[in-house]
Chains A and B, each alone.
Chain A
């Protein structure tokens, strides 16, 4: 998959990043790069137009605030409609990736994808239980 094919997934990656908390543009790029084990690199030339479009869709809002080095930076925050969009598109992505994986012959992807969510919710339960203790 070439970089320009990633454009459609970019909004999704940004929404997921902002679901962890508000970040400035530079921080979003860094987050995506780090969590993807340096595989995904978001160029500023595509990030800022994407942020602008997402703000127009009201999936995110932004405001000025101080960054770590005490310069003024624009901070982005996910909205309720943004969270809704994230959950719909995340599921769409999973469905499509699973389907493509099957066609490309990457094993019986469906089984793994199906159990994945239950494993995650189990992990969440475990985490919550640990937090209670």
Chain B
């Protein structure tokens, strides 16, 4: 998927954090890092959490659709991509069932 290298390239240029900071999805401040040097610390905002929820769901939908076209099977597509946070335990059960099968 193309956006992973793109993401890396953006990170390298420091552009990504500036962009998402401009969107007010994160805020940053200076603080001491582990080795006692000053580092910039990033924190997610309420708007950022909302964005995360929307984009996380978009990613799941798209990745599931791509998995189907690539022939990774309906079972896999729904086991991985139909999982939500509240269903983690049932996903674990599904995984065990698959392993047991």
Contacts and interface: CB of A to CB of B under 8 A. Distances in A.
A, B co-complexed: yes
B33 to A, nearest CB: 22
Interface of A: 1-2, 5-9, 12-13, 16-17, 32, 35-37, 39-40, 90, 93-94, 96-98, 100-101, 104-109, 111-113, 115-116, 119-120, 123
Contacts of B101: 119
Given A35-B68, A40-B66, A106-B80, A1 B4 contact: no
B3 A5 contact: yes
Contacts of A39: 61-62, 64-65
A36 B65 contact: yes
Contacts, number: 111
B4 A96 contact: yes
Interface range, B side: 35 or more
Interface in B31-63: 55-56, 58-63
Nearest to A89: B70
Nearest to A99: B4
10 contacts: A1-B58, A93-B70, A97-B66, A98-B80, A105-B85, A106-B80, A108-B91, A113-B76, A115-B95, A119-B98
| Secondary structure dominating the interface of B | helix
A16 to B, nearest CB: 5
A119 B73 contact: yes
B6 to A, nearest CB: 8
Given A1-B59, A16-B71, A112 B79 contact: yes
Contacts of A37: 65, 68
B72 A120 contact: yes
Given A16-B71, A119-B75, A120-B72, A106 B60 contact: yes
Interface of B: 1-4, 6, 55-56, 58-73, 75-76, 79-81, 83, 85, 87-88, 91-92, 94-95, 98-99, 101
B72 A36 contact: no
A5 B3 CA distance: 6
A93 B4 CA distance: 11
